[in-house]
Amino acid sequence: MNNWGEQFPALMRHPHGKRLAYLDSASSAQKPIPVLQNIHATLNGAYANIHRGLYYNSAVTTAAFEEARKTVASFLGAAEHGLVFTRNATEGVNLVAQTWGRKNLTRNDTIVLTEIEHHANIVPWQILQTEIGFTIRVVPHAVVTAPFDESAWEPLLKGAKLLCITQKSNVTGVRPPLESIIPLATSLGLATMVDGAQGAAHMPQNLTELGCTFYACTGHKLYGPTGIGVLWGKPQVMESLPPYQGGGDMIEEVALPTGTTYAHIPARFEAGTPAIAEAIALATAITFIKSLGWPAIELHEKTIAGQLTQALKNLPFVKLYSPADTGIASFNVGDAHPSDIATLLDQQGVAVRSGHHCAMPYMKALGIEGCVRASIGLYTTQADIAQLVDALQKAHEMLA
């Protein structure tokens, strides 16, 4: 058993006097010591605003910020030129909707969403739909979660302009077979918007090989800070898009009353002062992940995910909605309200999520209004699973 958890100070807390079993990494992951130290070092060292100053502090911080871009791009297996820093994955999707969507969609067009998407990959398109009037076609969860069947997918994709799809469901952890879906969508002329918020932290990425048009992920699920995310797009596509926001650093020249010209990517989409320390710390989080190594991380998470699935299956009063061993286990306990279960677990030191998990269409497809979700990270241990099981048994007894 590894000792990775010792690198995460927040896990040493004892809520309600109990050992903390943190099982909400799908919501936000804890931060390792190197990330915490890096944020302090950046703000306490040669800090200054970037891309503007000719003095020492500005040059040092600018270099660190742009080096972070290289680190993140390499981690994603993607061209650095197409990588834009955002606040989170949600802002990345909104950026695509407001730039690519406004430029390419008309009232006669169709886009495709799946029934298992997070609201962040649904609502931005619905907002744009109310303005433009295009059609939204929905892939049922039974199709998107099943083994790939081209005959099922092709009719749903044909004639559309864009496919928006998650890399890994935040509800059940299921992974749509993107390695088959994206080539089919591309061959049919669709652009592809992949929500990698859950995927980036749990599997190695090679966006060049994956072939998607756009990919969004977020730092706080990657053991990095909040307030920093990433949108990557194919550079030739990104370069063709209009600005998303106006302000400093995204212009070449400003003229009055008209005639302003815009910077090339990625600067065109990074208006104003960015999350400087956070971007640099995200690179540190990625370096931390790489130091552990994907083979070791995947083996650890596969083992823990299997233990989590089996433990919940062994409880007769638990209804499990997730497939086996995804690392995200959504469930209900008899007729108890998910919030009641989560509250009782919290009193025993177990941190889980309850509700609809920003995926109400998926909840409806599963025939429920909400559920409890336990999710793992690279610091999750067998002791955490055992504590969850013990807490669930006590909660069931209390409510029964």
| 358 catalytically annotated | yes
For the chain, the straight-line distance linking the first and the last C-alpha, in angstroms and rounded, comes to: 36
DSSP 100-145: IIHHH--TT-EEEEETT--GGGTHHHHHHHHHH--EEEEE-HHHHT
* β-strand partners of 113: 138, 164
Q: List the Cα angle 325/328/331 in 5-degree steps.
A: 100
Structure tokens at 126: 């619905």
Determine which one of 164, 212, 217, 358 is catalytic.
358
Contact 207, 231 (CB under 8 A): no
Residue 388: partners with Cβ closer than 8 Å, 6 or more residues away: 21, 23, 308, 311, 345, 350, 352, 374
| 234 to 48, 84, 157, 265, 398: CA distances (angstroms) | 31, 11, 21, 11, 54
Catalytic residues: 358
